[in-house]
Structure 1
Amino acid sequence: MTRSVISVRKGSPLKDIVQTMRRSRVSALPVLSTDERVAGVVSEADLLLDAQDMDETRAVTAGQLMTEPAVTVPQDATIASAARLMAHGHLKRLPVTDEDGALIGIVSRGDLLKTYLRPDEDIAAELREMITAHLVPAGAPLVHVHVSDGIVRLEGSVPDPKLQDMLVRVARTVPGVVDVVPRPGAAMSA
């Protein structure tokens, strides 16, 4: 995510919104309430829709133009869940909020796609560390991790089906993982 987010207040006038969008080269802005929470999002589409019915004498603010409630994502959300939200809502970006709903960043489609450029070696190292530190108890069978083009292959003899499923689920949460597949003939399941 990008941490330095350009935003506007609910009371920001139309002209300021347009100038901020143009200067920042963005097509939408989070709209913040007085307590720094994301109240909505105002986009170029919102501005254009309002322009059709615009009365030149009326003052228009971000609070009147914004789409609400804002679709946001919590800071601890997975990349997959953020991508699902974006795809479902046909959104280009999502404000990222802390546990109190305060804006802490913004994540774009491009940000999510960057994770798939992560080197296979980095993915494998992170997954190996997670497995040895948290999932496979001492003395348990060894699990080998192989990553190629973001596709994880888990190999080894893990007799407990619940642990097998957990290993696969955990592997799918690692940023940059495209898929997790078992090696034919291995005891791992997918």
Structure 2
Amino acid sequence: MHGGPLIVSDVMTHTVAAIGRGASFKEIVRMMQDWKASALPVLEGEGRVVGVVSEADLLPKEGVRDDEPDLTGSETAESGTAESGTDSGSSSPFARLHGHAPLAKADAVTAGDLMTAPAVTVRADATLAQAARTMARARVKRLPVVDDVGMLEGIVSRGDLLKVFLRGDEEIAEEVRRVLGSCCPAPLSAVSVDVEDGVVTLGGHLGDTSLVPVVARLARAVEGVVDVEFDLADEAAGTA
């Protein structure tokens, strides 16, 4: 790293496939195929993100084919209950289908009806850790990157966030040395830093073993670090 943590703008894709509210179902599928994208931002105006259409939004159209409606109404006696206060007609297969939010999308034919809104987005200046937490909480694979007024600037995917683990071992080692040296240089002057496949091993003499959790946390915060281990002389530090 050079002076700070990586941010979304360092790894995001700037050229993005996007659609308008009026895009048709087949147009959306075709664009996903052409761009090899699992989700597309939906824009209005001059490029403000108002939603996202994902493969999950499209699948109910295919899944509903297995629902064979009972046109005779023979199911109504069992499915309608006095407690619910619904009449027998409202419990038909068609009514139940249209009343079920996820399956209701099976009838949608435009991006405006299919999209999930509001869109979960991220700013370009967010750290990769912040973007990863947003993805995890929202359970999405891609995030539109927007400016302070919601205009589309790019897109960041799970794969983009994992690029930090492609950093070379020596580059990681140099940053770990810099971070540890700038935070607490005196006690760590005799600590060696070795990295192999992203695993940092801190050796030598730490002096104060109470610093082990602090040192581990600092080293683990360096992007690209997979794990932190200790091999300290005459000190039972174990593995962080």
For the 8 Å contact 2:20–2:42, the answer to whether it is kept is yes
Match of 1:62 in 2: 111
- Segments of 5+ residues of structure 2 without an aligned counterpart are 1-11, 65-105
For residues 227 and 123 of structure 2, the distance between their equivalents in structure 1, rounded to whole angstroms, comes to 24
For residues 110 and 49 of structure 1, the distance between their equivalents in structure 2, rounded to whole angstroms, comes to 26
Tell me how far 1:172 sits from its aligned partner. Answer: 1.9
Match of 2:159 in 1: 110
For the 8 Å contact 1:154–1:183, the answer to whether it is kept is yes
Structure 1 residues 1-190: aligned runs within 5 Å: 1-34=12-45, 36-50=47-61, 52=64, 53-54=106-107, 60-132=109-181, 134-136=182-184, 141-142=188-189, 143-155=191-203, 156-157=205-206, 159=208, 161=210, 165-184=213-232, 185=235, 190=240
Distance 1:141 1:112, change over 3 A: closer
For residues 112 and 192 of structure 2, the distance between their equivalents in structure 1, rounded to whole angstroms, comes to 54
Pick 1 or 2: higher relative contact order, CA cutoff 8 A, min separation 6.
2
Tell me how far 1:87 sits from its aligned partner. Answer: 4.5
For the 8 Å contact 1:164–1:188, the answer to whether it is kept is no
Identity %: 51
Tell me how far 1:42 sits from its aligned partner. Answer: 0.2
Instruction: Deviation per CA, 1:73-116: give whole Å up to 9, x if none.
Output: 34344445544544454433222344554433322233233332
For the 8 Å contact 2:172–2:195, the answer to whether it is kept is yes
> So what's the TM-score if we normalise by structure 1?
0.72
- Segments of 5+ residues of structure 1 without an aligned counterpart are none
For residues 147 and 238 of structure 2, the distance between their equivalents in structure 1, rounded to whole angstroms, comes to 37
> So what's the TM-score if we normalise by structure 2?
0.60
Alignment coverage as a number of residue pairs:
183
